[in-house]
Amino acid sequence: MKRKNWLITVGIALLFVLGAGSMFIVKEGEYKIVLRFGEAIRTVEEPGLNFKLPFVENTTTLPKYQMTFESNPGQILTKDKKPILVDNYTIWRISNAEKFIRTVNSVSGGAQRIDEAVYNSVRRKLSEVEYDVIISENTVRGNINDEITQDVALALKRDDYGVEIIDVRIKRTDLPESNKQSVYNRMISDRQSIAARYLSEGDEESRKITSKADRTATELLAQAEADAKKIVAEGEQQAAIIYNTAYGKDPAFYNLYRTLESYTVTLQNDPVIMIPIESEYAKILLGK
């Protein structure tokens, strides 16, 4: 009886082990690759419970979602032979899990292949563009990113690694530390030369404007003085005509009027005047 119970227990345990070894669960966002003696024979993508041969088959897991790989900064020569450090990232996913397992075996192995393809493409593309264009033109940078993405995607598709390249982007382009100071000094010198040229052009334009203004002012003053002299001459001429006309109508009254005007000027501020009593001037003052 005891032996029978023992056999039943062993049988149940064996069935449990066999059942557990034959089942596997696929989660959302992952591939399950079934391997038979290390060789990939099928891929399960849909989430849920699945079965395999116990002891003969085993499974490995790969991500189904998009991944981001950031490359280490690499030094590249531009078209004008300037060394720059390029830092970029790649968005990718596994498109064929069985091919991926057979060729690169792991995510780290796939990232290594991507890193090599991206570096080669970035080096080739940036060697066709000058440094100033790379750092100053966003449109050109965008075009380069698109070209690199297509180039890397074609290269990995040709090698049939079972991966899909979604996007490759250059994050940063910088100068190596050993070159920064000399480039900065040259940039400062260039900016100082430009500033000096602008100042020189400004001074020259200022002199032109000042000279033109002075010439215009001189011409205006000369014209104003000429007009003033003409107006004064015309006024004096008109006054002479008026005086002559008035004098001709009544010379005696005109003499009296002029004499009275002279009294108004002479007797201002109570002056002391000494004149001969017999003079006409004194007679008029005395009412004689």
pLDDT-derived band at 105 (thresholds 50, 70, 90) equals confident
Supply the mean pLDDT for the chain.
80
Q: What structural domains and CATH numbers belong to the chain?
A: 18-63 (no CATH), 67-175 (3.30.479.30), 250-286 (no CATH)
Give residues with Cβ within 8 angstroms of 160, minimum separation 6: 99, 103
Closest CA to 153 of 113, 102, 106: 113
Report, as an integer, the average pLDDT of 274-283: 68
Backbone φ and ψ for 56, nearest 5 degrees, come out as: -95, -40
pLDDT at 204: 87
pLDDT in tens, 211-262: 888 888 888 898 998 888 889 888 888 887 887 777 777 777 777 777 777 7
* pLDDT tier for residue 13 given thresholds of 50, 70 and 90: low
Share of the chain above pLDDT 70, in %: 76
Instruction: Specify the pLDDT at position 40.
Output: 82
pLDDT of residue 33: 87
The structure's pTM equals 0.55
pLDDT tens by residue, 112-133: 999 999 999 998 988 888 877 7
